[in-house]
């Protein structure tokens, strides 16, 4: 059953591109029904338009609260029949308004090996800390910041002479690999969030 996706973006959209390419290669049984950006000039909107994917610019500054912004976004997503939401380089905190509209169906890609280095500058924090291994994480979004249950991760080496840009680029290549794969699991109904004692965990297919 083709999964109807909504993708929220703020910037370049390389993860969006990776999703669209995986769909084109029939590696991901999904359809991107709407791309929503909170940034007017986000190149991600150009990437979507080039592939005839519907887009919307929703200016978060035009709303009195995060909840009001989310309600507008939810309305647009529902209007397109979206079943799952991907935060792909989306730089806003989402609220329960969005999470409750798509329970266990909001996925984020983060450029660090969570729980290490949450927040907006994962690669920079990794370099500043001096870790020798960095990476990226796909996780289900909960009400916290980068705290939801983990779906997939990939590690990359931190090399001598790395800059924030060189490390971020190495991580980004892995993001483009693990995000479409995680979404393919979701599309096949193979992701199960297990809630018991302690943290929720996501059961994924045996690799």
* Residue 82 or 136 having the CB closest to ligand GRF: 136
Q: Give residues with Cβ within 8 angstroms of 161, minimum separation 6.
A: none
Residue 12 makes contact with ligand GRF by CB under 6 A: yes
Binding mask 101-140 for ligand GRF (x = CB under 6 A): --------xxx-----------------------------
Q: Give the phi and the psi of residue 152 in degrees, each rounded to 5.
A: -155, 155
Smallest separation, CB 194 to ligand GRF (Å)? 25
* Residue 109 or 191 having the CB closest to ligand GRF: 109
Q: Give residues with Cβ within 8 angstroms of 163, minimum separation 6.
A: 127
Q: How far apart are CA 73 and CA 8, in angstroms?
A: 9
Span interacting with ligand GRF, options 10-18, 27-35, 71-79, 154-162, rule CB under 6 A: 10-18
Residue 11 makes contact with ligand GRF by CB under 6 A: yes
Judge contact between 202 and 185, C-beta under 8 A: no
Does residue 67 come out as left (phi exceeding 0), alpha (psi in the -120 to 50 range) or beta? alpha
Residue 37 makes contact with ligand GRF by CB under 6 A: no
Q: How far apart are CA 29 and CA 184, in angstroms?
A: 6
Which of 6, 13, 135, 149 touches ligand GRF by CB under 6 A? Answer: 13
Which of 14, 37, 55, 125 touches ligand GRF by CB under 6 A? Answer: 14
Binding residues for ligand GRF restricted to 166-195, rule: CB under 6 A: 172, 175
* Residue 3 or 107 having the CB closest to ligand GRF: 107
> In degrees, to the nearest 5, what angle opens at C-alpha 176 toward C-alphas 194 and 19?
80
Smallest separation, CB 12 to ligand GRF (Å)? 4
Judge contact between 193 and 149, C-beta under 8 A: yes
Q: How far apart are CA 143 and CA 56, in angstroms?
A: 24
Provide the binding-site residues for ligand GRF, judged by CB under 6 A. Answer: 9, 11-16, 44, 88-89, 109-111, 172, 175
């Amino acid at each position: 059953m083709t999964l109807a996706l909504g993708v929220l973006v703020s910037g370049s959209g390389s993860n969006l591109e990776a999703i669209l390419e995986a769909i084109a290669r029939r590696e991901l049984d999904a359809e991107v029904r709407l791309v929503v950006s909170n940034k007017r000039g986000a190149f991600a909107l150009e990437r979507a338009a080039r592939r005839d994917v519907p887009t919307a610019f929703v200016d978060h500054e035009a709303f009195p609260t995060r909840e009001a912004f989310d309600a507008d976004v939810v309305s647009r997503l529902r209007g397109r029949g979206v079943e799952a939401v991907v935060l792909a380089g989306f730089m806003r905190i989402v609220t329960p308004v969005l999470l409750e509209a798509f329970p266990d169906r909001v996925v984020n890609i983060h450029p660090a090996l969570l729980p290490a280095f949450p927040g907006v500058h994962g690669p920079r924090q990794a370099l500043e800390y001096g870790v020798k291994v960095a990476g990226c994480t796909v996780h289900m979004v909960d009400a916290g910041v980068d705290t939801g249950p983990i779906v997939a991760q990939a590690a990359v080496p931190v090399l001598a002479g790395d800059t924030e840009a060189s490390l971020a680029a190495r991580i980004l290549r892995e993001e483009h690999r693990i995000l479409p794969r995680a979404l393919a699991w979701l599309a096949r109904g193979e992701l199960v969030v297990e809630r018991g004692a302690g943290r929720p965990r996501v059961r994924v297919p045996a690799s």
